[in-house]
Amino acid sequence: MEMVTTKTTFQKYSAYKNSGEYWLGEVPKDWELTRLGTRFLERRSKVSDKDFPPLSVTKNGIVPQLSNAAKSNDGDNRKLVREGDFVINSRSDRKGSSGIAKEDGSVSLINIVMIPKGIEPMYCNFLLKSTAFVEENYRIGHGIVADLWTTRYDEMKNIKVAIPSYPEQTAIANFLDDKTTKIDQAIAQKEKMIALLKERKQIIIQNSVTKGLDPNVKMKDSGVEWIGEIPEHWEILPGLRFFSENKRNNKGMKESTVLSLSYGNIIIKPKEKLVGLVPESFETYQIVEPGDIIIRCTDLQNDQKSLRTGLAKDNGIITSAYLNLKIKGENTSEFLHAFLHFLDTTKVLYKFGSGLRQNLSFLDFKRMGIPKVPKQEQEEVLKYIEVQSNRIGTSINQFQTQIEKLKEYKATLIDSAVTGKIKVS
């Protein structure tokens, strides 16, 4: 694949004129300054999704309706979309959700459907999905608060645009299609590397907490399917030897100490999430102390992506939807959390769920087979995991920074080409 660089220098047009619009700035002298409404007609025909298949308007374009899309009960009251129409979601919370339709279909009434006139479809797609246009379209909208902000067609049609000749539109579209495809490929490669690094981190944790660090140690069968062989001097014991359940109810902690588990991190729950809870209800919350392991116990079937385990580092209170494991004796909470984290990320934890919604209970953890590891080895394993995780984390951060720069470059390249700041043909 051709190397993508953000250092490319492009030509400028020979002469420019002031567009009179901040979002456009100066535009090539020969480009036509006009209102969006002169190049688009609004399509407002109402149809049924029984006659025209439902489509979803996403940031990646117009696609067959997504399985997780919010469904309307009014399937007979939708807008017609024809192949080649440009469809844009009018809501600010869907900013950038738009694209050229590749097939006939129907969309919900919240979307604006426009028929392009004298605009090359790919160029239209780049122009109206450019960051510069998206922000201008948002700016001229209306609403009480940001979440309810919307832009109607009668507002959108007055946006001033600068349109080059049709052959130049085609040249710009072809240029951007080529460049953005290469950028997207570079981003995909880096995202793949991040996924591989994250997978490597999980393998390191898994092997460390189940095999130890000595590659020459004699091994034995653990008797537990998902653990496999363990060092001969380790033993498998039931969870009740490692955990007790911390069920102490809150007696005086403030609501500001309410904790929640988010992507494996225990955080203070935002104030807005506490609306509707009366102060007395906080007395039923469980006390959490540093070193406790928190498990989210409910509805395993419907939440296959989130992490369910977290290690508490501060005092707080948490709802009964969580299981609070207190570590017994000299066992290391960090090591036991690393073991449960392995069960969590590999979804083995889900094997222990019971009931219609596969909820977890303390009984599941009392029966769970867990390796008993000498204290010194636990500390060595944790130090090794920390060193390796930091190295992998540094590499992931580097790739994420590169991805952000490529995304910024892509957005700048599109904005510059569709507003004439660079000449590509």
pLDDT of 106-135, one tens digit each? 999 989 999 999 899 999 999 999 999 999
- The helix/strand/coil state of 142 is strand
pLDDT of 324 strictly over 80: yes
Q: Are 388 and 348 in contact (CB under 8 A)?
A: no
pLDDT of 270 strictly over 80: no
One-letter identity of residue 371: P
* pLDDT (tens digit per residue) in 352-378: 766 545 678 888 889 899 999 999 999
Hey, where are the domains in the chain?
1-19+165-198+208-216+373-425, 32-163, 235-372
Percent of the chain with pLDDT over 70: 85
What's the mean pLDDT in 179-204? 96
User: What is the rounded CA–CA span in Å between residue 267 and residue 288?
Assistant: 12
Give the single-character DSSP code of 113.
E
State the pLDDT confidence band at 1, using cuts at 50, 70 and 90: very low
* pLDDT (tens digit per residue) in 326-353: 998 878 999 999 999 998 888 888 777 6
**pLDDT number for residue 131:** 93
Beta strands 322-327 and 293-296: pairing type?
Answer: antiparallel
User: What is the rounded CA–CA span in Å between residue 299 and residue 35?
Assistant: 52
According to CATH, the topology of domain 32-163 is: Adenine-n6-DNA-methyltransferase TaqI; Chain A, domain 2 (3.90.220)
User: What is the rounded CA–CA span in Å between residue 141 and residue 110?
Assistant: 14
CATH superfamily of 235-372: DNA methylase specificity domains (3.90.220.20)
- Average pLDDT of the chain is 87
Higher-confidence residue: 257 or 189?
Answer: 189
Domains 32-163 and 235-372 share a fold: yes
Looking at the whole model, is its pTM more than 0.85?
Answer: no
Give the single-character DSSP code of 7.
-
User: What is the rounded CA–CA span in Å between residue 316 and residue 285?
Assistant: 9
pLDDT of 281 strictly over 80: no
Percent of the chain with pLDDT over 90: 60
**pLDDT number for residue 71:** 56
**Taking Cα atoms as reference points, which of 128, 27, 134, 15 lies closest to residue 420?**
27
Question: CA distances (Å), 44 to each of 118, 146, 204, in order?
Answer: 20, 26, 57
Q: Are 59 and 97 in contact (CB under 8 A)?
A: yes
One-letter identity of residue 343: L
What's the mean pLDDT in 69-90? 81
Maximum mean pLDDT: which of 4-13, 240-249, 277-286, 381-390: 381-390
